[in-house]
Amino acid sequence: MSGREALDVNGQHAAAVVLRMAEVKPEPVRWLWPGRFPLGRLSEVSGDPGLGKSTLLYDLAARVTRGDAMPDGSPGPGPAGVLILSAEDDLASVIRPRLEAAGADLGRVGVLRLRDADGELREPTLADLAELEWAGRELGALLVIVDPLMDYLPRDVDAHRDQDVRRPLAALRALAERLGAAVVIVRHLNKSQSESPLYRPGGSIGITATMRAGHLLAADPAGGALVLAPTKSSLAPMPKPLRLRLVTDPGSTFARVSWEGECEHSAASLLAPPPTPEDRSAVEEADEFLRELLAAGPVLSREAESEAKSAGLKLATVRRARERLGIVPRKAGRPGEPGQHWTWALPEDAQPSGEPAPKMLNGAESEHLREGEPGASTCEHGASEDAHTGECEQVREGAAKASSTREVEHLRKHEHGNSVSAADVAEGAHEGRVWASSESAPGTVEHLRRSEKVPGA
């Protein structure tokens, strides 16, 4: 180990070592979904029960198993495996049909069961790290879903005590690093009236602190759709919220996700209490004000806010009206040059001519981005994957100066990994462990695949 070792009072070498930052080799953050779910780290998706958190994660799981692009078109890391820990749903009647509706490669998706001393199968907990790591390597998993977290904490852990939850989550984080996988946990919201997205998921705030990225899934106030809004982003700029819809295809019982693109909601606005009649009246007044103000085209944001104040409107009310109308704040001018400014524009005026709106990729629409097919190995600068590092290095070095979200998104989308090595499993090391592939698991224990050393397998 590098660094200078310390000496104890007797002059002997102690175990303490100082690592100087100059000796640490920098490494880029690798991503499952660039800017949203990092590899080798913990992330979370929170929301009320029954909204579709599992369905959303199975959409991502399907993309990973197929090697498809992520919903915003950014490249995914697959094809790779997915390990699912799900305590709330049945394998045969729920989990497999949902994965099929999402179009997953079922042979790459698996669940883990452990056999106790009486021969009965049970769910693992986060205390069963060796078994979880074995299952992850067996699958070549780059995505591990823990749904929900509370059901997988060891029995002696109080989910509401900071010190209690940090121990198993630290071990889970270390497992994510060893596998090089994105570990995504699911949490339900508590009954708090707090509008802060960081305090609404159930359990200790220590859980939130351990996450490197967090997302809230909530109903779109406009109705009919859902919004995936970021609540925390420690490794990249906060991404834009995305609108999605659950759709059920003819002949199918289970829904799949249809992505609809970016929206102007925030996690805080989605958690805000419903407006009172007085609030609604004020927002409607602000709606009318903004429609008139922006009718002739984009207006400088500072001028819009100044006009709103002059009209006797509260800025908070104007911003709520702005979100309702889908008004898109945009930065005009060239990045890094004098004269850049923010503008507000009505949706029909927000998209510059000749610049198509970002397209969300749903299912087969992302086929052309699969590895090995046209479009999969080039970036927007035209650099091949082999030339990618060199040709895009100059762009990456300019990230600190870039103020355009579009430019930062381009830089982030390259920072992902494509594979993780799977360690060979020593024969006889997995007594009593059972792994079920979704392709071969109709939901009964008789069909669960068992390791070779389990008697009777």
Q: What is the DSSP string of 63-107?
A: HHHHTPPPTTSPPP--S-EEEEEESSS-IIIIIHHHHHHHT--GG
**298 within domain boundaries:** yes
Shared domain for 198 and 346, answered yes or no, is no
**314 within domain boundaries:** yes
pLDDT of residue 106: 97
d(CA 448, CA 85): 15
**388 within domain boundaries:** no
Helix 405-413 to helix 388-397 angle (10° resolution) is 150
Which domain CATH number covers 75? Answer: 3.40.50.300
State the residue range of the domain holding 236.
31-264
pLDDT of residue 207: 94
**169 within domain boundaries:** yes
pLDDT of residue 7: 57
Shared domain for 184 and 243, answered yes or no, is yes
Shared domain for 203 and 321, answered yes or no, is no
Other C-beta atoms closer than 10 Å to the C-beta of 211 total 25
Shared domain for 121 and 145, answered yes or no, is yes
Provide the H-helix boundaries in 266-314. 267-271, 277-293, 301-310
Shared domain for 203 and 99, answered yes or no, is yes
**383 within domain boundaries:** no
Shared domain for 321 and 236, answered yes or no, is no
Which residues share a beta bridge with 7? 13
| Cβ atoms 375, 210 nearer than 8 A | no
Helix 277-293 to helix 315-325 angle (10° resolution) is 70
Shared domain for 207 and 163, answered yes or no, is yes
Shared domain for 131 and 235, answered yes or no, is yes
Final residue belonging to a domain, choices 350, 367, 401? 350
**408 within domain boundaries:** no
Shared domain for 242 and 115, answered yes or no, is yes
Closest CA to 96 of 111, 74, 113, 79: 111
- pLDDT digits over 326-366, tens only? 887 887 776 666 667 888 888 865 444 444 445 576 765 55
Q: Structurally, how many domains does the chain consist of?
A: 2
**366 within domain boundaries:** no
Which whole-number Å values give the CA distances from 264 to 116, 220, 325, in the listed order? 50, 11, 9
Structure tokens at 17: 């070592």
Residue 428, CB-side half-sphere exposure with 13 Å CA sphere: 0
Q: For the chain, which residues score pLDDT lower than 50?
A: 1-2, 350-357, 367-457
Final residue belonging to a domain, choices 300, 322, 350? 350
**332 within domain boundaries:** yes
Final residue belonging to a domain, choices 350, 381, 413? 350
Which residues share a beta bridge with 341? 332
pLDDT of residue 169: 95
Shared domain for 179 and 307, answered yes or no, is no
Shared domain for 67 and 185, answered yes or no, is yes
Which domain CATH number covers 317? Answer: 1.10.10
Residue 141, CB-side half-sphere exposure with 13 Å CA sphere: 33
Shared domain for 137 and 283, answered yes or no, is no
pLDDT of residue 13: 63
Please state the pTM of the whole predicted model.
0.65
